[in-house]
A and B are shown apart, each in its own frame.
Chain A
Amino acid sequence: MDKMPKWADVILIPLISLILAAILSTLVILAIGENPVEAVNLMVTGALGSTYGWGYTLYYATNFMFTGLAVAVAFHARLFNIGGEGQAMLGGLGVAMVCLYVPWPHWSIALLAAMAAAMLFGAAWAAIPAYLQAKRGSHIVITTIMFNFIAAALLNYMLVIVMRPAGSQDPATARFPEAVHLPTLHEMLAPIGINFSKAAPANISLIVALLACVVVWALIWRTRLGYEIRAYGHSETGAVYAGISPVRITIVAMLISGALAGLMAINNVMGEAERLVLNSTEGAGFIGIAVALMGRSHPFGVFLAAILFGFLYQGGAELALWTSIPRELIVVIQALVILFTGALDNMVRMPLEKLFLALRKEAN
């Protein structure tokens, strides 16, 4: 018998975790002498009170959907891919090359090519740790995190030495040509009479991210490969019994994971910055871990968690802008949410399970 109903597992536990994180955050804000009510107010209006706020919230959420899905797919094969950051950086490199070095007639074709490049570069970056894990038993957590540093160094080199336009002092590529400009939500919604903020960076990548959620869902729960990935994730000995190759699944799952992380670059590099800069990923690869944890590795959960973290990012930025609450505190609040929803899952889960068991006994 399951210990508690499914709705409690997928809704109640994250909700309680969030409330706990909120309570603790309130205490922290009180402790530095600020008004928590005002702070929440500011965050909500800042992130959700205008199409401008929504535009940023959804922009961040798009990043997190990609990286969250990346971590989630790897989780299903019981692989902990914390290299999303590096894979996304490499994805950015692929996107920049496609956008800069090929003359594109239309953004739509450029987008398809950029997606392919982003996935290819991201997957390639995940392939080496995947191979080392599958064939040599090098722990994927160690290798992927080291590959983040290598990716940063590689990007540094590419931007400073190779791709920086002559005469520029800025370690960044040239601006992408106008032809590869992706439609923003403003441009997409204007024809149907919705006036969305022009300044907000949310763009058509959001649609791609939503599609990616659906595709990942179908992959994991509807295809043979997804079946094999989940089986391997639950039991390696079981997989061997069934003739599912652990080597193959490890590599394939990591390639998909890396491709999804790389795909993020169409949002932040092609959609927003329209050039490749240093630190373009802004830690989204790591947030993806929290998003996947909170979303229970389910694409729909990842979608919701990504929106939540998008809200925290944008609301946090507003908070830093308009109050004397330091930027670091925002990081603390985000960390608390990660801590409670990810790391301290059992703290909420165990008492809740007991409660449900007691309730059920009562009912009998």
Chain B
Amino acid sequence: MTVPAIELKGISKAFGPVQANKDISISVAPGTIHGIIGENGAGKSTLMSILYGFYKADKGEIWINGKKTDIPDSQAAIAAGIGMVFQHFKLVENFTVLENIVLGAEDGGLLAPSLAKARKELKDLEQEYELFVDPDKRIDEIGVGMQQRVEILKALYRKAEILILDEPTGVLTPAEADQLFRILDRLRAEGKTIILITHKLREIMEATDTVSVMRRGQMTATVKTAETNPEELAELMVGRKVLLRVDKVPAKPGKPILEIENLRVTDSSGVERVKGIDLTVRAGEIVGIAGVAGNGQSELLEVLGGMRPGSGTIRMNGVPLALSGPGSDGQARRAQGIAHVPEDRQREGLIMDFHAWENVAFGYHRDPAYQRGIFMDNAALRADTERKIEKFDVRPPNGWLSAKNFSGGNQQKIVVAREIERNPDLLLVGQPTRGVDIGAIEFIHKQIVALRDQGKAILLVSVELEEIFSLSDRIAVMFDGHIMGERLPHETDEKELGLLMAGVAGEAA
């Protein structure tokens, strides 16, 4: 039998009372792609951080190529031939590709020889793995997919034999993701060992040879990918049967609630982000906006939610909304029946240091029901919180905890509870399940569909195509500030949407 490229034996790691990793053993054969899948907080990232020398395991051993290896820091990890591609790239934006690749691996005090050497090696690497990038382009001039290649090249330049990729497709279009998987295939063919961390079942099924499932800090199973299926993996991840598809009856769209005409949004640095879009959302339907992050969807939501000014016309129930100046802030929007589950619950939707009960009023804190004379009626707030915690099954059911002490899924439930319980005419939902575990995803999706079935209008923005498909009654694709086209979910497929998301024009696709 071949010696495993990586063998972890009995790794345990605790952060205070939280056991992040518990007696984890895993063996990765050389020249394979090994997937690690699990919900948020299952301990995947901790495990990889131990392997890359960011954390020290409390117990357990790391064996690389049959040799017991100590990895006290990332330098040691690199020396052992391990390279890591982080979810958030660690590149210097105003450096060139070449400079970024050399950064931290320069030899000698003068830069020129290192750069020359790197340029040569980069050529070889490009040839070998078909990883083409322009070495003289600045990072901020190239796309996200390219930036990811630079990260991979960085690792290869440092002689990595083992490559760890943490949620690599989060920022990619489906086409870019496919390209990435082709590169990974190629790397595997050249004998590299790859560990792919993801929460997307589809990627695991597509790309990996073997898959390990983590749940609550433990490794629950390691199976050959060919011998399993998404349903089984999901069940292993969550510990119970889950519904991967949302159950919903066909929509019965009513009168238009939200009408957008020629909306334009310019950001604070003067760049036009939304370039004249038209969109209508009717009562009783969910309209999903698909698109790669950064194509104007966030700005669209923010204008609708009163977070930034725009120009054009937006009518809510036939009444035009102020798009700048007085009457265009979040308070005005709420008064007009618009509720908003923002894209970033940690920076926008919640105040992380506030108690849950304070967060339940956030945005609605001027509601007379929460006031008593000149003071806020904290007792009423807490009672309201208890009700919402119970109805939305927030765990732990303790309104006195700070928002930051809840898991991502439960934080999102607090936001969703707050917004949905306002019984709005229009619900704006941005990335409702980002960083949310599968169990909570199922619950949140059900709540959104239930609101639709009450005849409310819902505008959903998500970068997860799967989510767009399973929730939307109508899909609009945004690219570079334009709506590239609208499709009905049963009349299109991921391939067509992928082309639209990449900016390939409407009917031709």
The answer to whether B329 and A2 have CB atoms under 8 Å apart is no
In the bound complex, CA of A156 to CA of B340 (Å): 54
Chain B residue numbers with a CB within 8 Å of A230 are 351, 354
Q: Scan residues 343-358 of chain B and give those whose CB is less than 8 A from a CB of chain A.
A: 344, 347-354, 358
The answer to whether A360 and B16 have CB atoms under 8 Å apart is yes
Report, as a range, how many residues of chain A touch the other chain.
20 to 34
- A230-B354, A234-B354, A241-B349 as given contacts; A1 in contact with B17, CB under 8 Å: yes
- Give A272-309 as 1s and 0s: 1 = Cβ < 8 Å from B's Cβ atoms: 00000000000000000000000000000000000000
- Give A220-256 as 1s and 0s: 1 = Cβ < 8 Å from B's Cβ atoms: 0011100110110011011011111100000000000
Chain B residue numbers with a CB within 8 Å of A223 are 374-376
Chain B residue numbers with a CB within 8 Å of A243 are 306, 329-334, 363
B319 beta carbon closer than 8 Å to chain A: no
- Residue of A with least CB distance to B58: A361
B498 beta carbon closer than 8 Å to chain A: no
- Checking B307, B333, B365, B402 against A224 with a beta-carbon cut-off of 8 angstroms, the contacting residue is B365
Chain B residue numbers with a CB within 8 Å of A242 are 330-331, 362-363, 365
The answer to whether B363 and A241 have CB atoms under 8 Å apart is yes
Would you give the shortest CB distance from A362 to chain B, in whole angstroms? 11
- Give A1-16 as 1s and 0s: 1 = Cβ < 8 Å from B's Cβ atoms: 1110000000000000
Would you give the shortest CB distance from B22 to chain A, in whole angstroms? 13
A218 beta carbon closer than 8 Å to chain B: yes
29 A–B contacts from the bound complex (CB under 8 Å): A1-B17, A1-B405, A3-B16, A222-B376, A222-B378, A223-B374, A223-B375, A223-B376, A224-B365, A224-B366, A224-B376, A227-B358, A227-B361, A227-B376, A231-B354, A231-B362, A237-B344, A238-B348, A238-B350, A238-B362, A240-B348, A241-B330, A241-B342, A242-B362, A243-B306, A243-B333, A245-B329, A360-B16, A360-B17
- Checking B340, B354, B376 against A241 with a beta-carbon cut-off of 8 angstroms, the contacting residue is B340
Would you give the shortest CB distance from B175 to chain A, in whole angstroms? 32
- Residue of A with least CB distance to B375: A222
Q: Describe A's contact surface by its main secondary structure.
A: helix
- A234-B353, A240-B307 as given contacts; A357 in contact with B16, CB under 8 Å: yes
A364 beta carbon closer than 8 Å to chain B: yes
Chain B residues close to A by CB (< 8 Å): 14-18, 305-307, 329-334, 340, 342, 344, 347-354, 358, 361-363, 365-366, 371, 374-376, 378, 402, 405
- Checking B15, B347, B361, B375 against A238 with a beta-carbon cut-off of 8 angstroms, the contacting residue is B347
Would you give the shortest CB distance from B424 to chain A, in whole angstroms? 14
Chain B residue numbers with a CB within 8 Å of A245 are 329
Name 11 extra pairs, CB < 8 A, besides A230-B354, A234-B353, A361-B16: A1-B405, A224-B371, A227-B376, A231-B354, A235-B347, A237-B347, A240-B307, A243-B333, A357-B15, A360-B16, A361-B17
How many cross-chain pairs have Cβ atoms below 8 Å apart between A and B?
Answer: 80
- Residue of A with least CB distance to B332: A243
- Residue of A with least CB distance to B347: A237
Chain A residue numbers with a CB within 8 Å of B365 are 224, 227-228, 242
Would you give the shortest CB distance from A157 to chain B, in whole angstroms? 40
Would you give the shortest CB distance from B369 to chain A, in whole angstroms? 13
Chain B residue numbers with a CB within 8 Å of A238 are 347-351, 362
- Give A330-364 as 1s and 0s: 1 = Cβ < 8 Å from B's Cβ atoms: 00000000000000000000000000010011001
Chain A residue numbers with a CB within 8 Å of B378 are 222
Q: Which 5 A-B pairs have the closest CB atoms?
A: A243-B330, A243-B331, A242-B363, A357-B16, A241-B348
- Residue of A with least CB distance to B351: A234
Most interface-central of B331, B350, B365, B405 (chain A CB within 10 A):
B365
- A1-B405, A222-B378, A243-B363 as given contacts; A235 in contact with B351, CB under 8 Å: yes
- Residue of A with least CB distance to B353: A234
In the bound complex, CA of A234 to CA of B353 (Å): 7
Chain A residue numbers with a CB within 8 Å of B18 are 1
In the bound complex, CA of A222 to CA of B381 (Å): 12
Would you give the shortest CB distance from A248 to chain B, in whole angstroms? 10
In the bound complex, CA of A364 to CA of B19 (Å): 11
- Residue of B with least CB distance to A240: B307
Most interface-central of A238, A360, A364 (chain B CB within 10 A):
A238
Would you give the shortest CB distance from A202 to chain B, in whole angstroms? 31
Would you give the shortest CB distance from B42 to chain A, in whole angstroms? 18
Would you give the shortest CB distance from A217 to chain B, in whole angstroms? 12
Would you give the shortest CB distance from B415 to chain A, in whole angstroms? 10
Would you give the shortest CB distance from B154 to chain A, in whole angstroms? 31
The answer to whether A218 and B375 have CB atoms under 8 Å apart is yes
Would you give the shortest CB distance from B26 to chain A, in whole angstroms? 25
Chain B residue numbers with a CB within 8 Å of A364 are 17
The answer to whether A240 and B352 have CB atoms under 8 Å apart is no
The answer to whether A240 and B16 have CB atoms under 8 Å apart is no
The answer to whether A231 and B376 have CB atoms under 8 Å apart is no
In the bound complex, CA of A230 to CA of B361 (Å): 13
Would you give the shortest CB distance from B414 to chain A, in whole angstroms? 13
Chain A residue numbers with a CB within 8 Å of B331 are 242-243
In the bound complex, CA of A235 to CA of B403 (Å): 13
Chain B residue numbers with a CB within 8 Å of A227 are 358, 361, 365, 376
- Residue of B with least CB distance to A356: B16
